Amino acid sequence: MSEFFASAALLIGAFFMLVASLGLVRFPDLYTRMHCATKATTFGMGGILISVALTFGSSAVAAQSILALFFLFLTAPVSGHLISRAAYRRGPNLAPSTTVDDYGPYLEKEKAIAKTADEEKSDEEDEAPSHPSAGPMT
Amino acid sequence: MIQGAIQIGLMMLIVSIVFSFYRLAKGPTTPDRIIAADNIATNLTGVLALFAIQTGEKMVIIAVVVLTILSFVATAVLAKFLERGMIIE
């Protein structure tokens, strides 16, 4: 019975990883690709690692595979967010079919705030000139 | 029964790695390639887990844990390099 559940979890996990890679090929946009590559792949690895835990049955191996699953669930969304944020700041290559872009106006506002802060800082430097290497951090 | 499931799962994972290599070779921008490389690393951990089931080798699961953490660190470092232009400030 345990073998049946292990086989089912393994097949479901491998199928979801295949679907994730299919989405990586077919989707039009970096952000949609990131979405499928982080979510569906994490779910697929969950199925495969649960199958490992069911097959071995011993508590040590099950604990190690649950640990790997925990790390994967903890790190995959973070890495997806980091990649998409870095890609958007390099230049948003959004697909033409995009309807909602919430990060663009927010980024404009953030840039405006940083610009005014830089201007205030340069005004203070004009009044009291410090050493020449002082300037806005790049 | 589990052996047949492992064979089918390995085929699915190999096809998935081939698709990821297509995106790695074609990908228009650098973040696309990073995502494809991360996907290949995750698929390889899946292959390693299936190998552990097939051979009954228990030590391979530790390698799965290490590869998971390592692929996250690689992706985070590459993302920071893309955003700031340097890794250690």
List, for residues A71-94, the tens digit of each pLDDT value: 989 998 899 898 888 888 887 777
- Mean pLDDT computed over every residue of chain B: 88
Q: What is the pLDDT of residue A21?
A: 92
Q: What's the CA gap between B36 and B42, in Å, rounded? A: 10
pLDDT at residue B17 tops 90: yes
The pair of structure tokens assigned to B61 is: 């699961």
Q: What is the pLDDT of residue A97?
A: 82
Of B58 and A12, more confident:
A12
Task: Answer whether residue B76 shows pLDDT above 70.
Answer: yes
Q: What is the mean pLDDT of residues A53-70?
A: 86
What is the mean pLDDT of the segment spanning A10-39? 90
Q: What is the structure's pLDDT at A22? A: 92
**pLDDT at A13 (0 to 100):** 92
Local confidence band at A135 (pLDDT 50, 70, 90 cut-offs): low
The span from the CA of B58 to the CA of B39, in Å, is 24
* Selection from B7, B22, B46, B33 nearest residue A87 by Cα: B33
Asked if A10's CB is within 8 angstroms of B5's CB, the reply is yes
Best residue in A31, A79, A90 to probe B by mutation, most B CBs within 10 Å? A79
Predicted local distance difference test score (pLDDT) of residue B44: 92
Query: Which strand (E) or helix (H) includes residue B52?
Result: helix B30-55
Q: How far is it, in rounded angstroms, from Cα A22 to Cα B15?
A: 9
Which residues in chain A have their CB less than 8 angstroms from residue B15's CB?
18, 21
- CA distances to A16, A36, A119, B19, B80 from A76, rounded to whole Å, are 15, 11, 39, 20, 16
Q: Does B19 touch chain A (CB under 8 A)?
A: yes
Mean pLDDT of B42-67: 89
pLDDT for residue A29 is more than 60 = yes
pTM as predicted: 0.82
Q: For residue A50, which amino acid is it?
A: I
Q: In chain B, what percentage of residues exceed pLDDT 90?
A: 34
ipTM > 0.95 (yes/no): no
Neighboring chain B residues of A77 at a CB cutoff of 8 Å: none
